[in-house]
Structure 1
Amino acid sequence: MTSTLMADYWHEETTIAEIHQAYDDGTLTAKELVLYYFNRIALWDQDGPYINGVLDINPDAIYIAEAIDEERKQRGRKGALHGIPILIKENLETRDKMATSAGAIALKDWHSKYDAFLVQKLRSAGAIILGKTNMTELAHRIGTDMPENYSSRGGYVQCPYGPEKFEVGGSSSGSAAATAANFTLGSIGTETSGSLLNPATRNSLVTVKPTFGLVSRTGIIPLSYTQDVAGPLTRTVTDAASILNVIAEIDENDEATKARPAHTPNYLDSLIKNGVQGKRIGVFRDPHEGFSDQIDLHRYEEAITTLKDLGATLVDPVKIPAVTRKAADTNTVSFECKHSLNHFFAKAEPSTGFHSFDDFLKSYEDYPQLHKYGHDRLKVRTSVESVLSNSNYITAKLQDLGLDDPESIGSVLNDQKLDAILFPSSCNQDVAAQAGLPSIALPSGYHEDGRPFGITITGRAYSEQTLFEIGYAFEQATMLREKPNF
């Protein structure tokens, strides 16, 4: 299909700072920017290459933009994201006209009474919620054979760098694809184990998977009490810092956010070009074989050399036995999944129509024709003891936190006095998630066939400032992101 962009007054690969400058100069309005992104979504997300990253558009987005334009005229800029269009993953509750289904067709008509806490923060900062993104169903492969880019409600999300050719990653597949394809300034994704880092590295994006507890869980359809986090997906480190500044707030209804340090830094202050200088960074070289198709060893060596040239002290290699040891038959998420969803269904306002996990599961059994990949991975949750006082759950949780575990990533960081550890692709995703540690993903070039390659860097708890310092310096020294062509 030959498509013509009607709203041709703006351009791809824009940034928050550039948009604010255009608003200040009077060369762009928020309404025009919303129309620009809607035009791109119509042409290339829902037609053309059919990326299918956007599940719903916000029917009020244009009117919100008009109100923001008037507000800017009357009182100036409201907040850090004033007039900035943001897409959010479809497992985040919103009190507007959009459904919150987490990709499940059984929840396609559920409309929450409330905004998720982080959505409240985005709106308060002036962001325009442009729409909601497609995702892996329930942020989890429902059936063994189900691809991670699929949901029963939204269908398949495609990688903008190679639709129907390259993996897009999951479960924040739509958030990543839409941001990479310039259907939005940026997006919000969520992660239980890899769902931010994996799609970011597969789509040449920046993401920050925050320390557990830095960003509120309130209003996220859950999988895990101890691993669910939300974070930004952007094209630049600066924009990721700007968005994280807004959503990293203490939530009185989320106990995990109250354990954070008393002072949260302004992450924009961390964006310095000599941010790698003097950092002690471990280099991980033993990824699990399941990541072999994602890793480009030549590009990884280039990234290592860049960090060394920027002044890092490299500890090469570092061994992290927790990355490669055999996973237990049941882990923390296995125990918490059914329990957390039971809690969600019991508390949802208005009612979803389901009163428990078992009630919800029955909808899959009653309508198998709607679930072509089956639901065996969801059903297995019923066989896991969901009482959170059992010894296996407690033991798994203690091991995740690194208690008396010299093989944990936290122990390696401490014992070798490292500021951070570098990984190829997102091969650190499980151990970082289980330990609740922060990671940043960065574009790091492309495979010979055009697939994006990324690196991830994991630090100590609440060391996002350090990760932004390293990430910004690396980005500015390399500038390796390229926009997809379609």
Structure 2
Amino acid sequence: MSTSRLYCFKDHFLTAAIRRLSPFLAVAIIGGCTLAPTSSTTSPTTLATSPLATTDLRFTSVADVVPKLQEGSLTSVELTQYYLDQIAANNQQGLTLRAVVDINPDALAIARELDKERAAGKVRSPLHGLPILIKANIATQDQLPTTAGAEVLAGHLTPADAELVKRLRKQGAVILGKTNLSEWAYFRGFKGISGWSGLGGQTVNPYRTTHSPCGSSSGSGVAVAADFTLLAIGTETDGSIICPSSVNGIVGVKPTRGSVPGAGIIPIASSQDIAGPMTRYVNDAEVLLRGIVDPSALAQMSSRTTPVKRVVLVRAFDDSMSGVNTLTDELAEDLSDNGLTVINVNKWQLPDGLEAAERTVLIYEFKRDLSAWLRDYKAPKRAESLTAIQAYNQSTAARNLRYFGQEFFELADAVDLVKDQADYKQALKTSRQLSEAFLTDLLTQHQADAIITPSNGPAWKIDYEAGDSFGFYTWTPAAVAGYPTVTLRAGDQDGLPLGVSLIGRPYDELRLLGLAKTLETNGLGFKPSTNLTQAGSKYK
């Protein structure tokens, strides 16, 4: 079995970057290259490989592949097969990243039909024929189980697609498979382990495989960084898109509350849950965002396109580590050089009572919303309720409770949805008021268009005894307030990515993405792990 390997221009990431910037320059540099065969191993979970198009797809972008699909030099089948091969190389072998838990056995057939549509002149949307991985807590009516990573839901096939998935299918996206996650989206026990689930095992960071991928959208973040997919979807309640995007060096978008349909996603709490794009490049994130948001939300976003000119730059974490200080110093200079006014602030202190109020909301809504999902999406009897799930976990404790407990399930199961409703409503009101005031006051006081802050520290070493070690993080106010956030790589600490978060007012996504594009153009953003050119990949 053979594929193609580009020999004369070995920095494939640079090649892809040149193509994105200038196709004509790419032809001049790469045009004389010759191709030679190299071997590849196929995982038994993927379909047989076929020859790839004679082009380097490593770390490619939507802007790069769509013109090739349009001109016929690349097909969706070839693109899909490329990612199946990459998954086979480094998911369960090679680097053993364990980012993908299930491959869609129909992916190539779907891609083939979409190629036929394109050949016949029918292109559904900018997502037509593009492969995408989705988190394993998002329902799909196909052969892909929806499990939240929990053994109790192993093999569970849902009777309907999540609304988000319906939208993706209608627009012609190829659902490539599902990604691992922190079990139950990191809402099972107090001492969770990011990227670990009973079904998927431990997802690891491609930049340092002893280190955490963060979560809960761990698999989506790693899959994008490891070149397992062109696009991915994550979900967030509080940090679950931003953190894995940050520590894996990719772009993540946590949209405005309610702008992306949540029906069909295994919930924590509907007041904060949201799905969003996870991609390598800012433009790709915008393409995917436009494809998944509600039309009314997109209209509001599209009406708010005045460029960001004045920003608050949070310097409160400069002393935490050298990489953060370097990041903010260089970012301040970069922003100023691009004509933005930068207001430095040295404080980031959450309001008293915010975290306690948020926790009350999440536990109450977890009881209410998960119970409804289990009923509506026909969970098996062993998982028909929070009580049943706890009993199953106890009966399989040696496997499923070996690293941490299920305290959040216990607390939620004890909630009385009637008697506790008044306390819940007050907590919801308090959490929103405190978080919105925190962000709005910063923006208003400084007459700023956006807040820029380091997202969190770098990935930490996985430790099953001590649990996760996040260090500092800044995603909670926007998560609770429902304000949009865009994150992208802006620095590093000892070779591990550091992300920066751009936070705006509701429906400011396109403004934030515009600012992110400026930063990306100036050199920030995704840089692939050198591990991926040293082990398991066909393009060494």
The equivalent residue for 1:356 is 385
- Structure 1 residue 196: Cα displacement: 0.3
> Does the 8 A contact of 2:215 with 2:243 survive in 1?
yes
The equivalent residue for 2:144 is 98
Partner SS for 1:322: coil
> Does the 8 A contact of 1:287 with 1:323 survive in 2?
no
- Partners in 2 of 1:283 and 1:384 — Cα distance? 41
> Does the 8 A contact of 1:280 with 1:420 survive in 2?
yes
The equivalent residue for 1:409 is 439
- Structure 1 residue 336: Cα displacement: 1.5
Q: In the alignment, does 2:342 pair up with 1:342?
A: no
Q: In the alignment, does 2:158 pair up with 1:129?
A: no
Residue identity over aligned pairs, in percent, reads 33
Q: In the alignment, does 2:495 pair up with 1:458?
A: no
The equivalent residue for 2:520 is 475
The equivalent residue for 2:329 is 301
Q: In the alignment, does 2:350 pair up with 1:322?
A: yes
CA 66–261 in structure 1, closer or farther in 2 if over 3 Å, else same = closer
- Structure 1 residue 101: Cα displacement: 0.2
CA 218–266 in structure 1, closer or farther in 2 if over 3 Å, else same = farther
Partner SS for 2:491: strand
Using the size of structure 1 for normalisation, the TM-score is 0.89
1:265 is matched with which residue: 296, 299, 302? Answer: 302
- The aligned amino acid for 1:265 is S
Q: Output one character per residue of 1:45-64: Cα deviation in whole Å (capped at 9) or x when no partner.
A: 12111011001000000111
Partner SS for 1:296: helix
> Does the 8 A contact of 1:88 with 1:188 survive in 2?
yes
Partner SS for 1:401: helix
The equivalent residue for 1:169 is 214
Partner SS for 2:102: strand
- Partners in 2 of 1:451 and 1:325 — Cα distance? 33
> Does the 8 A contact of 1:93 with 1:220 survive in 2?
yes
- Partners in 2 of 1:53 and 1:75 — Cα distance? 35
> Does the 8 A contact of 1:458 with 1:467 survive in 2?
yes
> Does the 8 A contact of 2:191 with 2:405 survive in 1?
no
Give the gaps of 5 or more residues in structure 2.
1-37, 42-50, 457-472, 532-540
Report which stretch shifted further, 42-51 or 303-312: 303-312
Q: In the alignment, does 2:453 pair up with 1:423?
A: yes
- Partners in 2 of 1:374 and 1:445 — Cα distance? 32
Within-5 A mapping of 1:7-46: 9=54, 10-46=56-92
Partner SS for 2:123: coil
The equivalent residue for 1:254 is none
> Does the 8 A contact of 2:318 with 2:324 survive in 1?
no
1:57 is matched with which residue: 65, 87, 103? Answer: 103
- Partners in 1 of 2:99 and 2:322 — Cα distance? 21
Partner SS for 2:141: coil
- Structure 1 residue 261: Cα displacement: 7.9
Q: In the alignment, does 2:114 pair up with 1:68?
A: yes
1:239 is matched with which residue: 278, 281, 284? Answer: 284
CA RMSD of aligned residues (A): 2.6
Partner SS for 2:510: helix
Report which stretch shifted further, 74-83 or 187-196: 74-83
> Does the 8 A contact of 1:320 with 1:412 survive in 2?
no
CA 156–232 in structure 1, closer or farther in 2 if over 3 Å, else same = same
- Structure 1 residue 78: Cα displacement: 2.4
- The aligned amino acid for 2:237 is T
> Does the 8 A contact of 1:299 with 1:444 survive in 2?
yes
- Partners in 1 of 2:220 and 2:192 — Cα distance? 19
Partner SS for 2:78: helix
- Partners in 1 of 2:322 and 2:274 — Cα distance? 24
Q: Output one character per residue of 1:225-256: Cα deviation in whole Å (capped at 9) or x when no partner.
A: 21000000001110000000010015xxxxxx
CA 480–408 in structure 1, closer or farther in 2 if over 3 Å, else same = closer
The equivalent residue for 1:255 is none
- Structure 1 residue 325: Cα displacement: 7.0
- Partners in 2 of 1:53 and 1:455 — Cα distance? 23
- The aligned amino acid for 2:377 is A
- Structure 1 residue 462: Cα displacement: 1.2
2:206 is matched with which residue: 135, 160, 171? Answer: 160
> Does the 8 A contact of 2:143 with 2:157 survive in 1?
yes
- The aligned amino acid for 2:488 is L
- Partners in 2 of 1:323 and 1:284 — Cα distance? 16
> Does the 8 A contact of 1:321 with 1:408 survive in 2?
no
CA 261–391 in structure 1, closer or farther in 2 if over 3 Å, else same = farther
- The aligned amino acid for 2:251 is V
- Partners in 2 of 1:187 and 1:43 — Cα distance? 19
- The aligned amino acid for 1:368 is A
CA 304–37 in structure 1, closer or farther in 2 if over 3 Å, else same = same
The equivalent residue for 1:80 is 126
- Structure 1 residue 144: Cα displacement: 3.8
> Does the 8 A contact of 1:300 with 1:455 survive in 2?
no
- Structure 1 residue 182: Cα displacement: 0.5
> Does the 8 A contact of 1:438 with 1:458 survive in 2?
yes
- Structure 1 residue 293: Cα displacement: 6.9
- Structure 1 residue 435: Cα displacement: 0.6
Using the size of structure 2 for normalisation, the TM-score is 0.80
- Structure 1 residue 199: Cα displacement: 0.5
> Does the 8 A contact of 1:288 with 1:323 survive in 2?
no
> Does the 8 A contact of 2:318 with 2:325 survive in 1?
no
1:369 is matched with which residue: 385, 388, 398? Answer: 398
- Structure 1 residue 214: Cα displacement: 0.7
- The aligned amino acid for 2:273 is D
